[in-house]
Amino acid sequence: MDKLVIEGGKPLSGTIVIQGAKNAALPILAASMLVEGIVTIDHVPKLLDIDVMLNILRELGCRAEHEDETVTLDTTSLHSSHIPEALMRQMRSSIFLMGPLLARFGEVTIYQPGGCAIGERKIDLHLSGLRALGAQIDEEDSRIVCYAKRLKGADIHLDLPSVGATENIMMAAVLAEGLTTISNAAREPEIQDLQHFLNSMGAKIVGAGTDTITIEGVEKLKPSRYQVIPDRIVTGTVMVAAAATRGQVTLLNTCPSHLSSLIHVLRRTGVQITVDGDIIKVGTASRPKAVDRIVTSPYPAFPTDLQSQVMVLLALADGVSVMKETIFEGRFKHVDELSRMGADIRVDLNSAYVRGVSRLYGATVEATDLRAGAALVIAGLAAQGKTVVEQVHHIDRGYDRIEHMLGRLGARITRYSPVPNNQIVQ
């Protein structure tokens, strides 16, 4: 397992171009299975999660190439809608394939994706949405088999604005007979990107980005070429790293409007932020101020995916902040690791009480999940001394070579990969 070794205490400075959005690319790659032919998706970053998704598509018979951030898919030879359990387990986002494969083949077999470090990650809203569209779903142990001769449009209300369930239902409804409405839909930018991609292939969807999405079923789609939006969570991660190291960083190819809640929080800590088109500049030379209360909620509120990163900044702030996590029940696993670096954080149920300290100290820490890992890297950059972050594969799921990205901003960060036993030279 790779490690990252970070020499902290150096302010980040310089300019960086933001990668394409993992959480837009994954459903868009899945949605490509709705159409027969060559589909080209640009601005797809090289990430573990993308690799897993492409391997699943290849397993189903699709040809998939990923060169220089462009993915080319030939879905003509797609012949299976049975997703192997081992691959499901590698990445729960394979659940996104349910809707498209059911719409294309009339049947799909998947396996319970299971929980992960951040929570139980139920899929009941996905299944109830597909049932509403006429799918027959049999659950046998962890195996889930879905059938539907032809899906029929329906009025669907989500108990929770689930991102994945909204996307899965959208993709299943595109080829259904008649009209589908999704109310209490999730409003994330990645859902808007999925709508734009599907409509570029001839789908008729309106409303993504609001809490009501309407899909008018069509007979057939035609292949298209599409560019994915920038990754707002990677953007936010770099912004927080710049603030935590008291640096000056310019971020290019961003969507500032996707980060309004983070920009508001960072300004409350005293960080200077300027926005000009798709350029964000972040700078500060002083100690951040505490923020009395931040609550993670569905978009456009403060995103759960930036909770752990911002907590690092609060751990260095002057005063006491409270961070409340309302989306995932297990998303405070970075707290213990930060405490080992000198942070003063007390967790009570789903609230973290963060008493800022003047400095953090390097330590050997372990990434437990994608965004907790990113937070530990930020802590290492800001800390005095050397930090070793282990289990870096979690971070590689969502950040394209994070050490190169931050290294270009002056970070002293090196990746160490263990030498396989059979290569140890005696």
Nearer to ligand EPZ, 226 or 299 (CB): 299
Length of the chain: 426
Nearer to ligand EPZ, 195 or 304 (CB): 304
Structure-block tokens of residue 271: 């960080």
* 162 makes contact with ligand EPZ (CB under 6 A): yes
Build a one-symbol-per-residue string for 121-150: x at contacts with ligand EPZ by CB under 6 A, - elsewhere: xxxxxx------------------------
Q: How far is the CB of 159 from ligand EPZ (least distance, A)?
A: 8
Stretch that binds ligand EPZ, among 3-11, 68-76, 161-169, 286-294 (CB under 6 A): 161-169
What's CA 230's distance to the chain center, in Å? 12
Q: Which residue is nearest to ligand EPZ (CB)?
A: 164
Q: Are strands 272-276 and 279-283 parallel, antiparallel or unpaired?
A: antiparallel
334: enclosing H helix or E strand: helix 334-340
Nearer to ligand EPZ, 61 or 330 (CB): 330
Build a one-symbol-per-residue string for 175-204: x at contacts with ligand EPZ by CB under 6 A, - elsewhere: -----------x------------------
Catalytic positions: 116
Nearer to ligand EPZ, 197 or 328 (CB): 328
**106-122 exposure pattern, b = at least 16 Cβ within 10 A, e = fewer:** ebbbbbbbeebebeebe
Q: How would you list the strands of the sheet with 107-111, edge to edge? A: 107-111, 143-147, 136-140
Spatial CB neighbours of 329, under 8 Å, sequence gap ≥ 6: 118, 119, 120, 350
Return the residue of 18, 25, 26, 311 that touches ligand EPZ, per CB under 6 A: 26
Asked if 313 and 240 touch (Cβ cutoff 8 Å), the reply is yes
Build a one-symbol-per-residue string for 325-344: x at contacts with ligand EPZ by CB under 6 A, - elsewhere: --xx----------------
d(C-alpha 152, C-alpha 356), whole Å: 54
Give the binding site for ligand EPZ (CB under 6 A).
23, 26, 93, 119-126, 160, 162-165, 186, 304-305, 327-328, 370-371, 398
